[in-house]
Amino acid sequence: MQERTALEDQLTAIGRIEQELDDQITMIELGVADAEAALHKLKAEVARRELEALLSGEADANDSYLEVHAGAGGTESQDWASMLLRMYTRWAEQHGYKIEWIEETEGEAAGIKSATVQVKGRNAFGWLRTENGVHRLVRISPFDANARRHTSFASVNIYPVVDDRINVDIKEADVRVDTMRAGGAGGQHVNKTESAVRLTHIPTNIAVVCQNDRSQHRNRAQAWQMLRARLYERELKLREEKAAAEQAAKTDIGWGHQIRSYVLQPYQMVKDLRTGVQTSNTAAVLDGDLDQFMEAALAQKAFGTAPKDVEDVE
């Protein structure tokens, strides 16, 4: 039913776009002033629909896990990690996706050390996978009494939610299970019961944590699902690297490895270092306006270059 709904949406959109194209061409011939602007808006929608049609990978249509980890920079980077998490939740809300919180570890003074959320909706993984990597922030630190400029790093990890169509076989003997008390706010229950679960896959050293439920049993089931998803995402990356000889996306959270820079002082600029797409409207980006970066990254992956229509947006 999900696939049927998606196909019906695409067919309806094609019919509407064709009709609107004819209407706007007629309006241009009649000399209507706003028709050309409407045509440019329609062109942008067609470009996005074209990119969506490229989301045909095994897991592109699936829900997605999104992890944010603070990197080099102490309190600064932990605050930056919380800003990134807010940015992605705003993007998800603007596109009709639902957010489920899986795990969050608060920073000592501000922000977060790490957090994991599940983004639910069609093509969530297909779009978000372009955000995998290290993000760099340059700003005047609100935590520095001398108002000096600081550089902070945080990493974003994206992996698909594995559904029943995808089989991932994990030997239980290869997994270490640890239970702990859940962190963060949560009342007396958090302090008295070890409901949080951490699973560590020993051969790969991949670890996942789930603490969003009061039931250890449910947290354990969610953690196993997350571990299967992480191992599946790892296999996808190994395939891509073998086929395209690409460098692994996960690197050190620090200098020289960032995919995007966010500069708030001394000037305003967000620039993607992979595609060259940049904008001076930093407030809009931090409020979830990420489509131009995602679309350019998808186009680069599909066509080898970012679309020419992507320009700086004031």
Please tell me the predicted confidence (pLDDT) of residue 3: 75
What is the tens place of the pLDDT at every residue in 176-225? 998 887 765 544 444 456 788 889 999 888 999 998 788 888 888 888 88
Please tell me the predicted confidence (pLDDT) of residue 268: 95
Name, in order, each residue with C-beta under 8 angstroms of 197's C-beta and a sequence gap of 6 or more. 177, 178, 179, 180, 209, 210, 211, 216, 219, 220, 223
Under 8 Å between Cβ of 286 and 83: yes
Distance CA 53, CA 123 (A): 10
What is the tens place of the pLDDT at every residue in 74-106? 889 999 999 999 999 999 999 999 999 998 999
The one-character DSSP state at 271 is E
pTM over 0.75? The answer is: no
Mean pLDDT value across residues 268-275: 94
